[in-house]
Structure 1
Amino acid sequence: MRIIGGQHRGLMLADVGTGDVAAHLRPTPDRVRESLFNVLMGHGLPHGARVLDLFAGTGALGIEALSRGALHATFVDNGRIAQGLIRENLTKARRTQDATVLTCAADKLPTTSAPCQLVFLDPPYGKHLGGSAVLAAQARGWLAAGALIVMEDNAPQPVAGFAQVDLRRYGDTHITLLRAP
């Protein structure tokens, strides 16, 4: 797994092998990340954005955003293996100064006064955790008005009150783009 574009293009990230089933680590394939970031560029993102990466896993999505000009990324994962991978990858990319790692559940975020314009969610497939995490982030001030939410799951995941902007399918992966009110 590597960073696809931007200043860290080609950087190899920490190896998780085939993923960690017990920890629900399932890295987003390079091809899917490349396609996703091509779509995001059409929305003017991630350049200049604050990013929230929920269910961050390896941190690849947030680090890709930093590589492509995001100002800051907050990574959220309550798994110890994932937390170690995120920290290792931030160190490899030398991005520890413009990143924060929160070790809480995605739906138990602390309150913030620095809302994000771009949010990634890659929850364990089929557990329907994304919607509640988005609503919790909104309630605690993490979503800027009109923020773009990118939710990855094995089926489309609508969230009440959020407009669906786009829907893409890559094999068994569905990427739903939502716009915050």
Structure 2
Amino acid sequence: MRIVAGEWRRRQLRAPTGEATRPTADRTRETLFSMLQSRLGTFEGLAVADLFAGSGALGLEALSRGAAHCIFAENDAAAIRALRANIAALRAQPRCDVRPASVLQLGPAKAPVDLLLLDPPYGSGAGGVALDRLQRLDWIGPASWVALETARDEDAGARSLQVDAVREVGSARITLLRMPAAAD
């Protein structure tokens, strides 16, 4: 597993030990960030949240491409160790906030983030549940982009968000979501 592009391009990342975490494949990450690049134009200065973070590959990829700051939420101990080791190896500590907790334990946001990256366990339905809660707690605002990775045959389950795009890569489905446009 490696960083695909940006400041830390080709740098290797450590994956958590055990079977509890399924890291996003490089090809899937490359597709996701290509989709985001075409919509965002740049990652410069973005506030990002990598939820169900695992090794932190998604958030670290965003930071490598110029994001200003990333909040990582993860509750598996082995994944947290790998995440912290990856952040330290890249000397990214000043731009990272690691929260060793379940996504569902996060409190209200101080302000909506620009980009939320969610990679919950496949088949769990946790992504849709988390998105509903995060929207109620103001993590998602009108300008936010949400990227949700699920199994290829799994519904995103995001009832209150609008689907912008869907791509299937291997066994994964990437869904980009936004808040619905306000009616005039």
TM-score of the two chains, using structure 2 as the length reference: 0.91
- How far apart are 1:100 and its partner, in Å? 0.3
Q: CA RMSD in A?
A: 1.3
Residues 3-22 of structure 1 aligned to structure 2 (within 5 Å): 3-16=3-16, 20-21=18-19
Q: Which residue of 2 aligns with 1:168?
A: 167
Residues 27-176 of structure 1 aligned to structure 2 (within 5 Å): 27-44=23-40, 45-154=42-151, 155-176=154-175
Q: Distance in 2 between matches of 1:152 and 1:20?
A: 21
- How far apart are 1:20 and its partner, in Å? 2.7
- Give the share of equivalent positions with the same residue, in percent: 38
In the alignment, is the contact (CA less than 8 A) between 1:156 and 1:175 conserved in 2? no
Structure 2, unaligned stretches of length 5 or more? none
Q: Which residue of 2 aligns with 1:26?
A: 22
The worse-fitting range, judged by mean Cα deviation, of 71-80 and 38-47 is 38-47
| Letter paired with 1:103 | P
In the alignment, is the contact (CA less than 8 A) between 1:20 and 1:26 conserved in 2? no
Q: Distance in 2 between matches of 1:167 and 1:86?
A: 27
| Letter paired with 2:166 | L
Per-residue CA deviations over 1:79-130 (Å, capped at 9, x if unaligned) read 1111111111111111110110111111110222132110011111001000
Per-residue CA deviations over 1:35-62 (Å, capped at 9, x if unaligned) read 1111111111533211011100000000
TM-score of the two chains, using structure 1 as the length reference: 0.92
Q: Secondary structure at the match of 1:7?
A: coil
Q: Secondary structure at the match of 2:103?
A: coil
- How far apart are 1:167 and its partner, in Å? 0.4
Structure 1, unaligned stretches of length 5 or more? none
Q: Distance in 2 between matches of 1:54 and 1:109?
A: 10
Q: Which runs of 4+ in 1 moved over 6 A?
A: none
Q: Distance in 2 between matches of 1:156 and 1:168?
A: 13
Equivalent pairs counted in the alignment come to 177
In the alignment, is the contact (CA less than 8 A) between 1:156 and 1:176 conserved in 2? no
In the alignment, is the contact (CA less than 8 A) between 2:119 and 2:149 conserved in 1? yes
